[in-house]
Amino acid sequence: MEPGDWTDGSIVTVQEVRNIHHVLMTPVWTVEPHPDASGSENPGNFRRHEIAAFGGGMRPPPWTEVDHLLHDWVTNAERLRRQDGEVSVPEKLARLHNRFAQIHPFPDGNGRTGRLVLNLLLGRMGYPPAIIYKRDRDKYLRAMQRAGKGEDGPLAELIARSVTTNLYRFVLPAAAGPVKLVPLAALATERISENALRVAANRGRLRAVKAGDGSWRSSRKWLEQYEQSKYQRGQGSVGERSRSSVGHAP
């Protein structure tokens, strides 16, 4: 995905950030506008009032500095394209993501906007999105607090793990086709976890090939066969129990 024709070719622009906030927050604003927002602080417009310090002591900058700080942020985002070798891509993304939260450019919806902008950056760099699930909210907030103190590692790791997970869950299976061998993580679903697939492979119930590093590879076709045989075994056990009950009926 490349920047649209209405951009200047940058990896992201201030106008795109404002447009994301506008699209995201307009439905919310229509129902319940932010109580502290003035008429000039509608979705897509920067805040024009001060924000109290957040938990942990982080205080957003004065509203008069938001415009130039966000332009500086966009300039820093361009460094994602540089292969300087000193800082990894996840660390760069962690710093950018946390800095956006610190600037707090809008009256409301900064977290949601920041995560969407993060995924815009990832998409334009050719990576899958980093989806922060509700179950990881506390871990994410702790990582953001540590990043605010200069510790980028936890947030960078969370972003990298999320991208890798989505690569296995969505991209790799779609590209592999039904018969190509992929890691079990790429075949896990809500119905059957990666651990359950590993157990099935170890027991020989799921056709799989063990790689040199000890990990298992299987395919969607083999997974379908395993699920079908599992269903048939379940049906057979019910029938056997029924016959057994009939045979022993008084």
For residue range 77-103, what is the model confidence (pLDDT) as tens digits?
998 987 766 789 999 999 999 999 999
166 vs 177: CA distance, rounded Å:
17
At 31 the pLDDT is: 92
- Secondary structure of 159-195 in HEC code, one letter for each residue: HHHHHHHHHHHHHHHHHHCCCCCEEHHHCCCCCCCHH
130 vs 122: CA distance, rounded Å:
8
pTM: 0.70
Q: What is the pLDDT of residues 117-175, one digit of tens each?
A: 999 999 999 898 998 888 899 999 999 999 999 999 999 999 998 998 877 776 666 66
